[in-house]
Structure 1
Amino acid sequence: MIASDGDHLISLIDEISYVAPPSPMLSQYEDIPAEYFCNSDNRPSDCGENCQCTHKIDIPLDAIVEIVLVDEVQQVNLSHPFHLHGTSFHVLGLGRSPDNNVKRMNLQHAIDLDRRGMLKRRFVKPALKDTVAVPNNGYTVIRFRADNPGFWLFHCHFQFHIVIGMNLVIQIGSKKDLPPIPPNFPRCGNHVPPILM
């Protein structure tokens, strides 16, 4: 979804626009204040309708994850190509609303369709991908096993949408599931280039 925060356009996933953290999550996670992170279950009280933060979703290692992507913005011939780093996923379903009485797809409508069994899933030989298009005014259902620990970016592949926040980070596993940070590993801000006179 594309919205405006008054000064510029922002892009949203679950009404959250992604803002990059001040340090890399993989090597300097402890340097990032906890209030930088949020998700749809953990929104700061002052976040407002279009929240801006480091959108991060925590997934236990080896969990089965299903994501339903819904395009709520009716833009003609614009399907968002969503890409997940770190793992491939199966595409179980893709299309527009099977309910002809509804002209505009939104998350609540998709949830209702799913409860009624109308978002069909194909479990026999589903396509394996790392990028899939979400049809304009439609939905896509993906599923994967979270077996690769780390911090993985999930984003629309339109560069403009990445820049204005249509991303989130999926954290698979916990710190104990990750390899240790090598000793003397470079840190952001500790490299000072030589000053030439």
Structure 2
Amino acid sequence: MCLFALFAIVAKAQNDVTALWDWEHNSPLGICASTNFEGKTGDLKSNVDGVVLHVDATNGKLNAEKNNYAQFNQGTILQVPVKSVNDVVTVKSYPGQYKFTVGGVAATSDVTTYNVKSKDLEKGYVEVIATGGSYLYSVQVKFISNIQEKELYSTNFSEWGDYETAAKEEETVVNLNSATL
């Protein structure tokens, strides 16, 4: 009977991590109730320990009026934390409600993706600035690990029979007699 198994040795250290502020699904739990900023600043916890979204609503408003979106008014600034130029910030808005910039670039669709630049990294965050009235479903940042996995060796064991045959052909038999020892 011949058994084949896929065997791989993979060098794997650290995975990518995604921090999320999701008003559409109230994740992390309670974000909708915690989102009430008007004429003030504050922080919102993400689903990742220690990662917070800084909200500057001194001249605007960020409020989760309903459990599936956050009202994002002109003048409000969100500071999304970043750690590497490989990181990616994504903002998802209610359909047609994308009156904001991400990293200084105007949003042009319901889902806006922004690749972090060195200027953002120097500040430690990417700014999402409301340029009009909008409704946000979510904001997320994907922290891309600098350590990526790489396959070092892979086999399905099919070639192992060839090695066994070659080894048998090269075997040397030594007979030991206990009397000669």
TM range (shorter): under 0.3
Structure-2-length-normalised TM-score: 0.26
User: Which protein has the bigger strand share?
Assistant: 2
- TM-score for the superposition, normalised by structure 1: 0.25
The structure with the larger Rg is: 2
